[in-house]
Amino acid sequence: MKLSGRKTSLLSNFLANALRSNQTFAIFIQVLRVILLSFYLVAGARLLGPAGYGELATTAALTAIGACLVGLGSGIGLVRISSRNIAAFPKVWGECIASHFISSLVVLCIYLACANKFFPELWLSNVLIYIGVAEIIFVPLILAVGYAFMANELYRLGSLIQIFPAVARFLSAIILLMVFDTVSVESFAIVVMLSVLICFAWAFILAYFFLPAPLFPGIKRVYWTGYSVVYASSNLLNNISSEADKIFVYRLTSADQAGIYSAVMRIVVAVATPFGAIIQSKSHYLFSLGDGISSRHIKFLQNYAIIFFIYGAISGIFIFVVSPYVGALLGARFSGAENILAIISLWIPVNGFRQLFGGLLTTADRAWYRSFGDIISTIVFAVSASVLVPICGLEGAIAARLAAEIIGLLVMIIIFFRSKRDSV
């Protein structure tokens, strides 16, 4: 009985410590995000079909690339500066809000002009406008509020706020699926935009009550963001590396094929989200280590490489095992998705390590070095997809994506250890 009581006490202490851990909470939040995105994916695929989902995914990829420039990196810059001097928060928070608001309007105008020229078929359905407003104006500001809470070491509330967009997408898709069998892409986009708008309002209500009041800057200071621009540029290249494949496939094949490819990639990306969550939960600590790769960065790498390997291997095997059933989830019109999902399951552990090395480079003020790996990865995909997709179809696109991820990881590993040598 004493032994049993001791085990119970140890278990309760373990659970209590786990619940107090930011990393554990981050994993919980990202598991929740995976669940929400999974339901959103299934509901959206069933409502829109391959062609409609292909148009939506291509639009989302375009907006994701444009949204990287919103705020000019001032969100992550807010965490970086506040982690080293919390007294600077009100001033930097005001600059962050102003920068997001002004730059989002500029980026939205450029995005709509380019989209109208290069994707007129999507412009006619107005989906570009609705998704553009949601993803370029509202979502970046929601994420900025999350970063503001993290900068004040209120990580849990910040993490919850940053999944508001996922909650909005989930609720909009589920409600539509409960009411309709199919909907147009335009109607779907309108509902998503309104849902994100509601979450945007809630995020700023929480910021008003829980954060120090921002000190808004003069107009010139909005554009003088210093090193934060490096983060924006690095994030832009990272998103081009991760999102341009959907646009390529849409151009090289058809909306139907792009829909199948995008659905499969959204599944593995959703499963890989805990990697980024763990790094984000430690961003305050990693930024506090200062400039350059130190022995503490190496120790962090050694500790978390084991965690990333275990999760990546288990989740990759799981996706491979359940891949034959993906057609039943997405609908009969997504035939062929099971074959390419089985192949791309290898992408998950590779992506995990790429995020780990990339996160360490970014928080060590080596964001440009990370960007070089993203550039190489994008070039590898563009060249290999141009050759393989016309010959092998979607299997060629998946092979190109996997090759780009592996080469991108290898480049990033080399850059990381060369940066360590230069920092000594």
Q: pLDDT-derived band of residue 196, with 50, 70 and 90 as boundaries?
A: very high
The pLDDT tens digits of the residues spanning 280-312 come to 777 777 877 777 777 888 888 888 999 999 999
Q: What is the mean pLDDT of residues 55-61?
A: 87
Q: Hey, what long-range contacts does 418-422 have (CB within 8 A, 24 or more apart)?
A: 419/292, 419/293, 419/361, 419/364, 419/366, 419/369, 420/293, 420/297, 420/298
Ranges of H-type helices in 253-366? 255-281, 283-288, 295-322, 326-330, 337-344, 347-363
Residue 190 has pLDDT above 90, yes or no: yes
Q: What is the mean pLDDT of residues 247-263?
A: 89
CA gap 63, 112 in Å, rounded:
10
CA gap 314, 317 in Å, rounded:
5
Write the CA distances from 48 to 51, 178, 216, 285, 331, integer angstroms.
7, 14, 43, 43, 10
The pLDDT tens digits of the residues spanning 73-128 come to 777 778 778 877 888 888 889 888 988 888 899 999 998 888 878 887 776 568 88
Mean confidence (pLDDT) of the chain: 83
Domain boundaries, the chain: 23-423
Residue 219 has pLDDT above 70, yes or no: no
CA gap 59, 97 in Å, rounded:
25
Helix 22-67 × helix 228-252 angle, to 10°:
70
Q: Which of 39-48, 177-186, 236-245 has the lowest mean pLDDT?
A: 236-245
- Name the 3-class secondary structure at 347: helix
pLDDT of the residue at 313: 94
- pTM over 0.75, yes/no: yes
pLDDT of the residue at 17: 52
pLDDT of the residue at 7: 45
Q: What is the mean pLDDT of residues 199-214?
A: 93
pLDDT of the residue at 11: 47
Q: Name the more confident of 190 and 86.
A: 190
Q: What is the mean pLDDT of residues 247-257?
A: 89
- Name the 3-class secondary structure at 125: coil
Q: Which of 19-28, 247-256, 263-272, 275-284 has the lowest mean pLDDT?
A: 19-28
Q: pLDDT-derived band of residue 21, with 50, 70 and 90 as boundaries?
A: low
